[in-house]
Structure 1
């Protein structure tokens, strides 16, 4: 059963700027694939600094290098994905980088590459690009995900499987 997307456009430029800073564009090696905060992040959080959700993330959840669209004007959009128990997103793929933060519940994502991953509340990630995937809520509790698409003018952020 395909989920309906409850979309709330977040217009606060400060939030979008903060999310981009958190997502980062640098290299992170193997440590970048973990959504757990680094020791540096833990130290800054203890000192009253903001909690770091991603630190210099350079790879997607399937270890692909993050690639931004070229020669197009940048566009950032965000939404809240809400999945009730048993709901699915339907098979789709991202053509541009997509940052997600699990606000509530546990999201299960099946990738066409034969991999299934679970992301619990509090997890930050950059999802796979150009790989078919299907998100689902296999629990008895609601799932809510902040989705931030880092796209470009004229390029669809995601494409549904025909």
Structure 2
């Protein structure tokens, strides 16, 4: 449980500000999980302007063989693998694999799907930066 709380705190710190250890007192251990200006397929990270901004944090569990189905995001999405190994197929790009402890910035406006190809659950911690009623994901028709 403490490990999950530590992970959540680290992700929140990452998302809200550029973190430098000297900004804090005490013996905190801060590990940068992602420090980039581009997402998983090289697209420049851009934050949409919303009148009513909204942050959604989710824990997503993929049983063995389960997939998200093809979808895309029109908002920034940040993922951290808490458990297992996730395979992500991205239109026009080679597949990527993310294992426990990996962090990644998901592709923007590009269809992709995540699949658990292993025999145990995959668990993700995901942060969506949205607002104004924007859906978290758009399914491929």
- Alpha-carbon displacement from aligned partner over 1:13-35 (angstroms, at most 9, x marks no partner): xx57x524314677xxxxxxxxx
The TM-score, its normalising length taken from structure 1, stands at 0.71
For residues 38-75 of structure 1, give each alpha carbon's deviation from its aligned partner in whole angstroms, at most 9, with x where no partner exists.
xx99xxxxx752222123x2110001011111143211
Match of 2:32 among 32, 39, 52: 52
- Corresponding residue to 1:125 among 104, 108, 113: 104
Q: Distance in 1 between matches of 2:104 and 2:112?
A: 15
Runs of 4+ in 1 over 3 A off after TM superposition: 23-26
* Counterpart Cα distance in 1 of 2:45 and 2:130: 12
CA distance in 2 between partners of 1:67 and 1:59 (Å): 9
The alignment of Structure 1 onto Structure 2 pairs a total of residues equal to 129
Matched, 1:157 2:128: no
Alignment counterpart, residue 107 of structure 1, candidates 73, 86, 92: 86
Determine if contact 1:100/1:126 at 8 Å carries over to the other structure: yes
Preserved CA contact (<8 Å) 2:41 2:93: no
Task: Decide which of 12, 18, 41 is 1:62's aligned counterpart.
Answer: 41
Choose between structure 1 and 2: higher strand proportion.
2
TM-superposition CA deviations, 1:109-150 (whole Å, max 9, x none): 000123200000000111000000010001111100001101
Whether the 8 Å CA contact 2:81–2:103 is kept in 1: the answer is yes
The two structures have a TM-score, normalised by structure 2, of: 0.81
Could you say what secondary structure the match of 1:19 adopts? Answer: helix
